[in-house]
Structure 1
Amino acid sequence: MKIRTLLPPEHIFLKAGLEDKQAVLRFIADSFGGLGVVRNTDNVHKALKTREEMMSTGIGNGIGIPHALTPEAEDIAVLLISLAHPIPFDSLDGAPVDIVIALIVPQNETTLHLRTLAGISGLCKRPGFLEMVRQSRDSRLLWENIRNTEDG
């Protein structure tokens, strides 16, 4: 799965000044609302928090992948956020997070949910990808670089 097809440049937020995990989850919900992806941002925020309480989505290497199945989502949607400063995220490796790739998925689309998580994981494992995100200052250029990475 090509993540770029779910991640237009306007879904990329660079050097966001978010101070903690709760601020990140709120930012994700509000951004999906502002982009017209969902109507009820409070329900999305609650779904993200509930998922995070089950087990941290901090997967290591400075990456967090907050995600939720929710009836608020009519289609799958992805956000990429680089943080201005790493924040604690209860990650599996104990390291703080500075790259967040968030997704919401319609409630009954579990297969699509898993395929998308696998696609995000694969992209994050590509050589140079994480450093490219960390160094980026322009969301459109980053999107172009993601496209080139996926076309590899």
Structure 2
Amino acid sequence: MDISNVLNVNNINLNMMASSKEEAVEELTDLLVRDGAITNKDDFLKDVWLREEQGSTGFENHVAIPHGKSSGVARTALAIGRTQHQIPWETMDGSDVRCIILFAVRLADQNANHIRLLSQVSGSLADEEIIEKLLQENDPQEIIELLLPEEK
């Protein structure tokens, strides 16, 4: 399973209105509900907040990667959002967040597929150039391309 199987342009919002972590997760969840990936929004949100209690999903360089493994997820999917302003979030480097990559993971995918996806995204986020583009790019298709693994 790779990014192109779980992310499409309908699940990318580069002009989010959210001003808090809760609003950001809710706004991205709504994209996945509309896309049919999430069938029970309340269950999914509950699982995201349970995961968040275990430790913040704030990454670094203004990026957060919240996720929920939930029975409310019909198919594993990602949603990506970006705000024009910074959102307070506990991150590894103390930066506020502007880009949120929300993972919605089916319970059946919670082990191998989830880890593989998370590692693909984290690998991309280790590249400062990719992060810079992620924070500036305005074409949703280009955002997807940034996260695709390099062809070997």
Same fold per TM (> 0.5)? yes
Spell out the pairing of 1:23-102 with structure 2 (5 A cutoff): 23-102=23-102
Displacement after TM superposition at 1:92 (Å): 2.3
Consecutive unaligned residues of structure 2, counting only runs of 5 or more, are none
TM-score (norm 1): 0.88
Consecutive unaligned residues of structure 1, counting only runs of 5 or more, are none
TM-score (norm 2): 0.88
The corresponding residue for 2:115 is 114
Residue 114 of structure 1 aligns to which amino acid in structure 2?
I
Residue 61 of structure 1 aligns to which amino acid in structure 2?
N
Aligned 8 A contact 2:39 2:74 in 1: no
The corresponding residue for 1:104 is 104
Cα deviation per residue 1:76-100 (whole Å; 9 max; x = unaligned)? 1011111111111111222101111
Residue 78 of structure 2 aligns to which amino acid in structure 1?
V
Aligned 8 A contact 2:64 2:97 in 1: yes
2:59 aligned counterpart, secondary structure:
strand
1:95 aligned counterpart, secondary structure:
coil
Cα deviation per residue 1:43-74 (whole Å; 9 max; x = unaligned)? 11111111111111002121100011111223
Aligned 8 A contact 2:124 2:146 in 1: no
The corresponding residue for 1:4 is 4
2:118 aligned counterpart, secondary structure:
helix
Question: d(CA) in 2 for partners of 1:88 and 1:19?
Answer: 8
Residue 90 of structure 1 aligns to which amino acid in structure 2?
E
Aligned 8 A contact 1:21 1:89 in 2: yes
The corresponding residue for 2:135 is 134
Question: d(CA) in 1 for partners of 2:8 and 2:150?
Answer: 14
Aligned 8 A contact 1:14 1:81 in 2: yes
CA RMSD of aligned residues (A): 1.9
